[in-house]
Amino acid sequence: MSTVRHQPLNTIGQLFSLVGLWLGFSFVGVLIAIGLVAAIYGMPMFYNIMNMTNTNAPGFLGAFRLFLAIGGTVVGFLAPALVFAYLLMRDPVEYIGLKNYTPWILLPIAALIMISFIPTIDITAYFNQKMTLPASWSGLYKWIREMESSAMAQFKVLLNMRTPADLIISIGIIAVLPAIAEEFFFRGCLQSVLMRSTGSVHGGVWIAAFIFSFIHMEFFGFIPRLLLGAAMGYLYAWSGSIWPSVVMHFVNNAFSVVAVYLHQHKMIAADPDSGQPMFGHWWVYVLTFLLSIGLMYLYRQVTIKKQLLIADGEELGEDIHVD
């Protein structure tokens, strides 16, 4: 079991420390990304990225990918998570949930949960897009729409995939890196602190999911991301291992990238960016939602069995936190 490296902070102190590290590393990450882009591609390219101009210029896509990967993911989320765990515990790897024994079956179950949950994310995103604000808030509503339109424009530039190599690179930047970095930060660190501070698994899971969705700054995608964050949170809380939630996060992001690629190359008719439901029939949404619930139940039963086996001394392993 990990022991505390220094005199432990109370949970409020831990939360402030984590937020402070995130803000600090996010700022440093942007500076590093600016320096790298300017050094490799020239300062005018950085201005193009900031203003999303000359997006077809040679080297723009590579520079944009580098900027997001370094500034927004590796330094922005992964670094503060690792530093926070290092400062708090003697074994930061165990603290985040990397060492806890994970029955191998949990990983494919996590992937299947995400696959079956995709239609639920799809339909909730559709209805979330239809939400409006009161007329008195028209200025705020317009600002949110403009901000999300700008984010969508950036997303489309990033997902301009002409070749299979572009697809692989996009999966790496949009699926692999965020799945690891964001899960380490939001589930491995933030949710762990919140579970202790609230004294409740459910409280920690849902508050972390709310913050996870809010930080992405997409009002019209808030509800599906909240549900996704909660689902990944329960996978982590029940197993004590970060890897099932990493797998689930990866599958979700990779599905979006692959769907866009297939549509761009006219392999599927459904347009993931159309804002319309992708799966057509209502019964598809009902059945897949029920399937995802059943798979979550199966996942939970496996983690309970694991806990009982360890308690009975029938297997050796690291401590887990299962509530």
Per-residue pLDDT tens, the chain, 323 aa: give them: 454 555 566 778 888 899 999 999 999 988 888 888 878 777 777 677 666 666 667 777 777 777 778 878 889 999 999 999 888 777 777 778 777 777 889 999 999 999 999 999 999 999 998 887 787 787 887 888 887 777 777 777 788 888 999 999 999 999 999 999 999 999 999 999 999 889 999 999 999 999 999 998 888 889 999 999 999 999 999 999 999 999 999 999 999 999 999 999 988 888 887 778 888 788 999 999 999 999 999 999 999 987 766 655 544 444 444 44
For helices 222-239 and 201-215, the axis angle rounded to 10 degrees is 140
- Reported residue count of the chain is 323
pLDDT at 140: 80
- Could you tell me the residue ranges of all domains in the chain? 1-96, 99-323
Coil, strand or helix at 89: strand
Residues sharing a CB contact under 8 Å with residue 126, sequence separation 6 or more, in sequence order: 275, 276, 277
* Residue 55: both structure tokens together: 């997006």
- Report yes or no on whether pTM surpasses 0.85: yes
pLDDT at 271: 80
pLDDT at 70: 80
Coil, strand or helix at 4: strand
Q: Which amino acid is residue 260, in one-letter code?
A: V
Q: What is the DSSP letter of 97?
A: T
* Residue 192: both structure tokens together: 């762990």
Q: What is the DSSP string of 135-184?
A: GGGHHHHHHHHHHHHHHHHHHHHHT---SHHHHHHHHIIIIIHHHHHHHI
Rounded Cα gap, residues 189 and 97, in angstroms: 9
Rounded Cα gap, residues 221 and 121, in angstroms: 9
In 3D, which of 192, 4, 189 has the Cα closest to residue 91? 4
Radius of gyration of the chain (CA): 21
pLDDT at 60: 74
pLDDT at 314: 47
* Residue 321: both structure tokens together: 């936190």
Q: Which amino acid is residue 288, in one-letter code?
A: T
pLDDT at 323: 41
**Helix ranges (DSSP H) in the chain:** 11-41, 43-51, 60-67, 79-88, 92-96, 106-129, 138-158, 164-171, 177-183, 192-198, 201-215, 222-239, 243-264, 282-311
